[in-house]
Amino acid sequence: MYAGIGIIILLVMVFGGFAITGGALGPVMEAIPHEMLIIGGAAVGALVTGNSMHELKAIGGGFAKVFKGPKHTKQDHIDAIILCTKLMKILRSDGPVALESHVTDPASSPIFAEFPRLLANKPLISLICDTLTLIVVSSGTLEVHAVEDVMDHAMKTHFHEEAEPQHALQGLADALPALGIVAAVLGVVKTMGSIDKPPAILGGMIGSALVGTFMGVLLAYGIVAPLASRLKQVLDQDEMIFQAVKQVIIASLHGWPQPLVVESARSGLGHAFRPGLSELLDALRGR
């Protein structure tokens, strides 16, 4: 929502300020469609050239994330900590065999069934189940630091794939000013081909060419770069639930007391999604 509001404010202030100071919007509006055909077409062509269909779809999904915001709510983070805490309690009290049916088939597990939103999050559930399955098949003999390394590697791969749209958008933002110059140069070439025209006509043609540079810079630094920055914020916030899950599993394997395990996971969450310690402990007792 805020991304859309910001873009509206940007356009109103830029074009409104230009009009208030005496600028004529007519020539600018007349030139924008032609310049945008060049700039936008070149930008789309560059994206298609530099990305596979998978990445192109991910870029579309990235735009959706910018406007929707973070995927996980505060309750999702609470539920993730509770889920992992319950699973680690089974491992500690009943052993790997009792945990096996839950992590090998989470869709049929009564514990996972308590958290339908989390169950629909396949990357998160895979991280939990794959890690605990390793512990189950090894009968709990794995070293804790080895489990942590495996989790870090899995999360690094997932986060890298999730960040690809953000990198593509940032690359596009870096390229747009140059694409604007391309459009402007073509406009100047067109103008030079009409050098015999009256000054008034030449002035209009040069002004249209300069709109290309203007649009390239405006799109780059006013729209696409902020969208890329916002997407990075959203992705960073969506990563926190994975870090909380990892912290519960690793701290539990170290044998920490449950309140300390919960606090270690809770304290790593951003303020927008971090529950109070008492709130989280109450939620654990209520489950």
Report how far residue 213's alpha carbon sits from residue 183's, in angstroms, rounded to the nearest whole number. Answer: 7
Question: Per-domain residue ranges for the chain?
Answer: 25-287
For residue 270, the tally of other CB atoms under 10 A from its CB is 14
- pLDDT per residue as tens digits for the range 70-87: 999 999 999 999 999 999
Whether the CA torsion 27, 30, 31, 36 is positive or negative: it is positive
Q: How high is the pLDDT of residue 283?
A: 85
For residue 184, the tally of other CB atoms under 10 A from its CB is 23
Residue 287 — pLDDT band, cuts 50, 70, 90? low
Mean pLDDT of the 104-118 span: 93
- pLDDT per residue as tens digits for the range 51-61: 889 889 999 89
Residue 8 — pLDDT band, cuts 50, 70, 90? very high
- pLDDT per residue as tens digits for the range 236-250: 999 999 999 999 999
Report how far residue 181's alpha carbon sits from residue 219's, in angstroms, rounded to the nearest whole number. Answer: 13
Q: How high is the pLDDT of residue 145?
A: 93
- pLDDT per residue as tens digits for the range 202-239: 777 888 888 999 999 999 999 999 999 999 999 999 99
Mean pLDDT of the 36-55 span: 91
**Separation in Å, CA 243 to CA 18, 121, 165, 207, 286:** 47, 15, 21, 53, 24
Report how far residue 117's alpha carbon sits from residue 264's, in angstroms, rounded to the nearest whole number. Answer: 23
Mean pLDDT of the 41-60 span: 91
Using alpha carbons only, what angle is made at residue 189 by residues 213 and 38, rounded to the nearest 5 degrees?
45
pLDDT at 140 over 70: no
**Following CA atoms 25, 30, 34, 35 in sequence, which dihedral angle do they give, to the nearest 10 degrees?**
-10
